[in-house]
């Protein structure tokens, strides 16, 4: 069911409690190394400012395990947000309590306050009703713009909606639901899924949910070797999930029975070690040496995938093709990113399902060359698995 949007609400003079996802990476000096998640929330924050609302932002950062951890403070995020908006952003030293309440009620129309890390309180992840009620008292309207946390039923994503009458989706949340939901429920065809990453276990439900929706699935990454083992191929020292071999065989049989193209690599890059200095070579998947491990897809596979992808009108990609963190084994992942960028320029809809794939696209400098790059790693996966996200379900249904 369609959810209420921030665009449907009168914001002027109201306190708007906004759940954002400012769970950004920090270096040892607590400086932000990737501000994409902050930038993605700017349309929602600017909407509140421009309409004369008072924005009270809340987020988690890292895993402080229910207690204050200086290195996980959101203060750097407040500073960065202020720089991006060219406007002062207030920062509350806690997300609840007398000082937070005082700072919230001192806000004027068009002003912004960021609250300290929600997870400094154990009640946040426990979805404690009393804690959720405290948060709810800070706002008159609730807006969730944190798709990356929507798969968690926490106090700030689900519990708070029980205490605020109007709970709406922010613009980023709407964008995520539009593209990921569109792919699942009304895809352009041909529709192709590219799935990679280390393990089948993390993608089982995605594969099974997509099997009835896509025209082809391309498999890469470490998970391909469990499929090869299920086909009785030798995989050397490559990554293997021994307990998932039967499942891989079942997936192959199901694809065959459905007439679905499930395309596996035909060659791969093997090496004796996961390092830039490792001895590596390209071999057929039928000729992986016993003492080597497969760490990327090979050039013939890239051509095979390209030929399958180019006629597609919609592509969804989740998971790298190899150990892309090591430049020597990044070629396959970067090639997929390049192919999708070219397809996008010709009118295809290309969607990257967050996580490592999004990081690879960013490293390749193609952030603005694809249709949509999801900000939600786990949330994107669960959405693609067909699961209902608590943070979305809790929002007010749209009357339209």
The set of catalytic residues is 37, 199, 355, 378
Q: For residues 94 and 54, what is the distance between their CA atoms, to the nearest angstrom? A: 18
CA-to-CA dists, residue 59 to 24, 130, 163, 190, 195, angstroms: 10, 18, 18, 38, 30
Q: Concatenated DSSP letters for 178-196?
A: HHHHHHHHS--SSEEEEE-
Strand partners, 59: none
First to last CA, the chain: 10
Is the distance from CB of 188 to CB of 350 less than 8 angstroms? Answer: no
Residues in the chain: 400
Q: For residues 260 and 245, what is the distance between their CA atoms, to the nearest angstrom? A: 20
Q: For residues 383 and 213, what is the distance between their CA atoms, to the nearest angstrom? A: 14
Shortest CA distance to 178 belongs to which of 374, 398, 386?
374
Q: For residues 224 and 202, what is the distance between their CA atoms, to the nearest angstrom? A: 13
Is the distance from CB of 141 to CB of 9 less than 8 angstroms? Answer: yes
Q: For residues 318 and 38, what is the distance between their CA atoms, to the nearest angstrom? A: 22
Q: What backbone phi and psi angles, to 5 degrees, belong to 279?
A: -75, 125
Shortest CA distance to 75 belongs to which of 111, 21, 22, 36?
22
Q: Long-range contacts made by residues 171-174, C-beta under 8 angstroms, separation at least 24?
A: 171/5, 171/6, 171/7, 171/43, 171/44, 171/47, 171/145, 172/40, 172/41, 172/43, 172/44, 172/145, 172/147, 172/375, 173/144, 173/145, 173/146, 173/147, 173/392, 174/5
Burial 290-300 (b: 16+ CB within 10 A, else e): eebbbbbbbee
Q: For residues 325 and 343, what is the distance between their CA atoms, to the nearest angstrom? A: 24
């Amino acid at each position: 069911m369609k959810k209420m949007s921030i665009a449907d609400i009168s914001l002027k003079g109201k306190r708007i409690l906004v759940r954002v996802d400012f769970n950004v990476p920090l270096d040892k000096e607590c400086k932000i190394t990737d501000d994409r998640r902050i930038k993605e929330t700017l349309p929602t924050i600017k909407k509140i400012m421009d309409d004369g609302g008072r924005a009270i932002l809340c987020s988690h950062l890292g895993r402080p395990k229910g207690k204050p951890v200086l290195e996980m403070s959101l203060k750097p995020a407040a500073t960065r947000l202020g720089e991006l908006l060219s406007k002062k952003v207030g920062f509350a030293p806690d997300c609840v309590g007398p000082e937070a309440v005082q700072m919230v009620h001192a806000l004027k129309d068009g002003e912004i306050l960021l609250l300290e890390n929600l997870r400094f309180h154990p009640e946040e992840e426990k979805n404690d009703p009393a804690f959720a009620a405290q948060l709810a008292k800070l706002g008159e309207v609730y807006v969730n713009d944190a798709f990356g946390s929507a798969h968690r039923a926490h106090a700030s994503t689900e519990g708070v909606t029980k205490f605020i009458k109007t709970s709406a989706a922010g613009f980023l949340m709407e964008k995520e639901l539009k593209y990921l939901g569109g792919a699942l429920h009304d895809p352009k065809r041909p529709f192709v899924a590219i799935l990679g990453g280390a393990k089948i276990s993390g993608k089982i439900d995605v594969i099974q949910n997509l099997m009835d929706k896509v025209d082809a699935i391309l498999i890469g990454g470490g998970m391909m070797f469990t499929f090869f083992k299920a086909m009785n191929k030798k995989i050397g020292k490559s990554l293997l999930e021994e307990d998932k071999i039967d499942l891989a065989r079942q997936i192959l049989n199901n694809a065959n029975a459905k007439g679905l193209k499930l395309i596996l690599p035909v060659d791969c890059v093997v090496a004796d070690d996961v390092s830039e200095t490792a001895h590596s070579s390209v071999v057929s998947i039928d000729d992986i040496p016993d003492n080597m491990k497969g760490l990327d897809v090979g050039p013939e596979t890239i051509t095979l995938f390209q030929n399958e992808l180019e006629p597609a009108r919609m592509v969804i990609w989740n998971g790298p093709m190899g150990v892309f963190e090591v430049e020597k084994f990044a070629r396959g992942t970067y090639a997929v990113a390049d192919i999708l960028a070219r397809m996008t320029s010709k009118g295809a809809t290309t969607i990257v399902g967050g996580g490592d794939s999004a990081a690879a696209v960013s490293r390749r400098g193609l952030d603005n060359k694809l249709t949509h790059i999801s900000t939600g790693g786990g949330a994107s996966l669960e959405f693609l698995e067909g699961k209902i996200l608590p943070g979305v379900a809790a929002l007010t249904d749209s009357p339209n």
